[in-house]
Amino acid sequence: MIGNWKLHGNRVENAERLAALKEAGPWQAEVAVCVPFPYIPEVALALQGSRIAWGAQDCSAHESGAYTGEVAAPMLAEFGCRYVIVGHSERRALHGETDQQVADKAKRALAHHLTPIVCVGETLAERDAGQTDEVVKRQLSAVIHTLGHCISQVVVAYEPVWAIGTGRTATPEQAQAVHARLRRQLQAATEKADLISLLYGGSVKPDNAAALFAQPDIDGGLIGGASLKAAEFAAICRAAA
């Protein structure tokens, strides 16, 4: 269960949210929060010794150099990050990230012992055009090709773009169909495909979480808005059990 805070938070809110989250645990599921870059040091201190991991929402495909504004994977590793989100639909749409750039970021993250959460998903126009399978296959193929046998070390998150922050959610059956497709693609690439966690992201809430997580190929969630409310996020984490 990964909470993605996106561009939200301040020092007071963050401290209150993390304290409430620690109080609500522990859970049977693995739990982590991916937070804005400036807050990573404080979040690391707040969560030190707890069972909640932390991570970042992006990383550079470069190790170092003249890349103003970028944050490198080894910098994240210095602060104990376990995860980093790469290829979120908002990064693809707003920053023009390509499938290959996402794959390169995943490779850089793995080189520094960070687990990349590789996001794939289709827009509403692509779904309406019947292109869902084609789109997610293309996005994941770039990562498989770039990482080779290391693909078994990533987490994959399916996030239908039309269901992010819209209040719309894919039905459990719709989500499972895409997750099953992704699982088959991974099985063709590695014998360890069943060890790769496939997360669903797209307006997951306490009232729909259990039905989504009951699907055979949905192993957890990448939670956006609901992760900003400790009680809601805790309820979703409980549903994962």
Task: Please enumerate, by residue number, every residue annotated as part of a binding site.
Answer: 4-6, 165, 203, 224-225
> Which residue of the set 88, 90, 122, 232 is catalytic?
88
> Which residue of the set 30, 159, 179, 232 is catalytic?
159
Is 70 annotated as catalytic?
no
- Please check whether residue 127 is in contact with residue 175, taking contact to mean a CB–CB distance below 8 angstroms: no
User: Which ranges of 97-221 does DSSP label H, i.e. alpha helix?
Assistant: 99-111, 124-128, 132-147, 172-189, 206-213
Handedness of CA 192, 107, 98, 3 (dihedral sign): positive
Is 88 annotated as catalytic?
yes
Bridge partners of residue 34, in order along the sequence? 4, 55
Residues tagged in the binding site annotation for substrate = 4-6, 165, 203, 224-225
Long-range CB pairs of 45-51 (<8 Å, 24+ gap) are 46/14, 46/15, 46/18, 46/19, 47/18, 47/22, 48/80, 50/22, 50/25, 51/25, 51/26
Residues 204, 165: Cα–Cα separation, whole Å: 10
User: Which ranges of 25-113 does DSSP label H, i.e. alpha helix?
Assistant: 40-47, 73-78, 89-95, 99-111
Burial label for 152, CB within 10 Å (0-12, 13-18, 19+), is middle
Residues taking part in catalysis:
88, 159
